[in-house]
Chains A and B, each alone.
Chain A
Amino acid sequence: MGSKSFSHECVNGNCFVSNDILLPHWDETDRLAALRSYRILDTPAEPEFDDLVQLAARACRTPIALISLVEDRRQWFKAEIGFGVRETTLDRSICLSAMLQPGLTVIPSLTDDSRFTANPLVRDEPHLRFYAGAVLETPEGLPLGALCVLDTVPRGLTDDQAFTLQTLARQVMSQMELRRAIAERDEVLAASRRIEERQTLLVRELHHRVKNTLATVQALVGATGRSSGSFEEFYTSFSNRISSLAKTHNLLTEDYWQAAPLRDLALNELKPFAESRKPRFMLIGPQIELSADLAVPIGMALHELTTNAVRHGALSVPDGYVEVRWDIVTDDSGRRLQLEWTERGGPPARPPSQEGFGSTLLRRVLPMQINADVLTEFDAEGLKFRLVAPFVDRRLVPAY
């Protein structure tokens, strides 16, 4: 420690701390970061630190002893005896000067030191006259403040007192190191608990999603079966529905937040038409991430709409195209997702002769599943489908 360099003459007497500034090997930002890393500022009094100031005051026979930590605009006392306040502004700080000296700083008469004559604590109440402070230094050599003793009469310290004060200062640092280690350990523990929680959430969500998906697939078998004329037709429609669902789940799982971009959901379906020399589709809307609750039904709706367009609508002829527009609007009842599917350039749209799964999905499933208002229009220019649903931004996993 730097305290070893403290010279004997200073202990007994008239050696004032000189004005030659020791060029610090640290900078203030690092020093403040180190101080804050102990997470000690503004914590309540603790007996471990109170005992150390008691001991310092008793050993040095002074009425006042402080553990002073110097922050950017104040000095704060982790423990104090005989002083009565927990902090002061820096213009009243003697430790600020002491801290910049290695080891022990003794100022036998504050009124004889030009640096302190104007200090309100010296000039006015409580008329401090004597100061001795041992720097509190991190293992990296950053000074945080001082363990100091003060008196209202000029005096000095004996060798034993000087030795004790420096030893106690090291004890203060040991206590601070210990509490920092505990705080860091607690943080690591808390972080690993959070990771565990996220893992549990994800496993539960996965379990839930698998069960739901299987039940949905089973219902799809029934629904597709009821609206298919032949086994081949059933097999093709059913397989395509399953791969569309799988693609939605890919998007959800790839994302940290377990959300899927609406644009990518649409692209999953329309990608086969991206290669065409003439543009066959337009996707117009802001970046929106859908949680599984919305992504799965909307992905299915986009699949049914695309399938229908390929078989009967705008994508069944070379010149037809599809425009998908979306937005988030806010009204009295909160945020709402608007999605519009418009087909142009294809044959006139006609209502289906019998309701298949596609129209069931659009007409009955979406209102029930996501409280959507839906509107299907069979225009001469092509099919138009419009959906407005509450936009739930449910985040499954917490942010770290």
Chain B
Amino acid sequence: MDQPSSKPLVLVLEDEAIIALNLQDELQDSGYTVAGPFTTCGAAFQWLETATPDLAILDATLKDGPCREIALELSRREVPFLIYSGHRDDHPNLAEFHHNVWIEKPAAPNVLVRACRQLHVGCD
């Protein structure tokens, strides 16, 4: 999992493939390296066993359940993340992350990229 030190590594957890791939393209165009995109929490966990990203974009609900455990693990490692999802009221089991950055779907790519830059300052 070698990462070029100049480009911040962003983990993308999103189970809508078209959205995920577009996100990947947008992030790469904006100078990020993308880990993933992962479509399940299981796959993201497997990757996290051997690596830690600089930041993460998490969809609230994946095919194998809410992203809660991943969000907890990232918090433990002090990795900043944002949640990219429908309305936050849809996710009572993610209430503890309501103070995190939530971006409502769909958001313009520059909104997401700007939010990433704010989460991970000094990547330019």
Contact = CB atoms under 8 A, between A and B. Distances in A.
Interface of A: 207-208, 211-212, 214-220, 222-223, 226, 297, 360-361, 364-366, 368-369
B17 A222 contact: no
B52 interface: no
B22 A223 contact: yes
Contacts of A369: 15-18, 39
Interface string B10-26: 00000111111111011
Given A207-B86, A222-B26, A364 B17 contact: yes
Contacts of A226: 25
A314 B7 CA distance: 45
A396 to B, nearest CB: 15
A364 B39 CA distance: 13
Given A222-B109, A226-B25, A215 B19 contact: yes
A223 B37 CA distance: 16
Nearest to B29: A226
Nearest to A368: B17
Contacts of A361: 18
Contacts, number: 58
Contacts of A211: 86, 105-106
User: Which 4 pairs, one residue from A and one from B, show the smallest C-beta to C-beta distance?
Assistant: A219-B22, A368-B17, A369-B17, A215-B106
Contacts of B109: 222
Given A207-B86, A222-B109, A216 B25 contact: no
A207 B23 CA distance: 22
16 contacts: A214-B105, A214-B106, A215-B19, A216-B16, A219-B16, A219-B23, A222-B22, A223-B18, A223-B21, A223-B25, A297-B17, A364-B21, A368-B37, A369-B16, A369-B18, A369-B39
A226 B26 CA distance: 10
A364 B16 CA distance: 12
Nearest to B36: A368
Contacts of A364: 17, 21
Interface of B: 15-23, 25-26, 37, 39, 86, 90, 105-106, 108-109
A215 B16 contact: yes
A220 B23 CA distance: 11
Nearest to B84: A215
A216 B22 CA distance: 9
Nearest to B86: A211
Contacts of B19: 215-216, 218-219
Contact of B21 (A214, A217, A218, A368): A368
A262 to B, nearest CB: 20
A58 B105 CA distance: 76
Kindly name the residue among B18, B86, B90 whose own CB sees the greatest number of chain A CB atoms within 10 A: B18
Given A211-B86, A368-B20, 20 more contacts: A208-B86, A211-B105, A211-B106, A212-B16, A214-B105, A215-B16, A216-B16, A216-B18, A218-B108, A219-B19, A219-B22, A219-B23, A220-B18, A222-B22, A223-B18, A226-B25, A297-B17, A365-B21, A368-B37, A369-B17
B102 to A, nearest CB: 14
Given A208-B86, A215-B16, A368-B37, A360 B105 contact: no
A167 B91 CA distance: 61
A369 to B, nearest CB: 4
A236 to B, nearest CB: 19
A365 B25 contact: no
B94 to A, nearest CB: 16
A217 B108 CA distance: 12
